[in-house]
């Protein structure tokens, strides 16, 4: 699936602390699936992120499912990302999965995660 490969693993703000969601993409009726990370300060609530990503992915022919959310603290100066917290609406994402996806993109970063609220 070249189209699926064209979807970026990660789209997050380059700096700051913000909400994020873990989203599973799947072809309707197909086996092929992958998880992507989306986060931005522009989103006041986790569902705002999903409401933006879902139509984009539907256009490409994917079904989206939100696997949960949390927060990302992105310090680009020190090259550190911390994943933590949860989403009230979607529940807590598996931050260990999120961290692995982030590592694919931010290869030279120190990436940590915890289930802490803050």
User: pLDDT tens, 64-88?
Assistant: 999 999 999 999 999 999 999 999 9
3 pLDDT tier (thresholds 50, 70, 90) = low
Strands 63-75 and 33-40 turn out to be unpaired
Q: What is the pLDDT of residues 14-64, one digit of tens each?
A: 999 999 999 999 988 888 899 999 999 999 999 999 999 999 999 999 999
Containing 82, the helix (H) or strand (E) segment is strand 80-84
Question: What DSSP character marks residue 42?
Answer: T
pLDDT exceeds 80 at position 2 = no
Query: Is 80 marked as a binding-site residue?
Result: no
| Residues identified as active-site | 46
Residue ranges of the alpha helices (H) in 14-45? Answer: none
Q: What is the pLDDT of residue 54?
A: 97
- Please provide the CATH number assigned to the domain covering 10-114: 3.50.20.20
Q: Phi and psi (nearest 5°) for 57?
A: -75, -35
């Amino acid at each position: 699936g070249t189209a699926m490969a064209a979807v970026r693993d990660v789209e997050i703000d380059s700096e700051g602390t913000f909400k994020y969601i873990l989203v599973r993409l799947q072809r309707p009726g197909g086996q092929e699936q992958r998880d992507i990370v989306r986060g931005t300060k522009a989103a006041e609530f986790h569902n705002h992120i999903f409401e933006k990503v879902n139509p984009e992915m539907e256009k490409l022919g994917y079904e989206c499912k939100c696997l949960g959310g949390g927060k990302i603290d992105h310090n680009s100066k020190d090259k550190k990302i911390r994943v933590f917290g949860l989403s009230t609406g979607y529940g807590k994402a598996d931050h260990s999965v999120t961290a692995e996806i982030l590592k694919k993109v931010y290869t030279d970063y120190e990436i940590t995660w915890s289930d802490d609220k803050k």
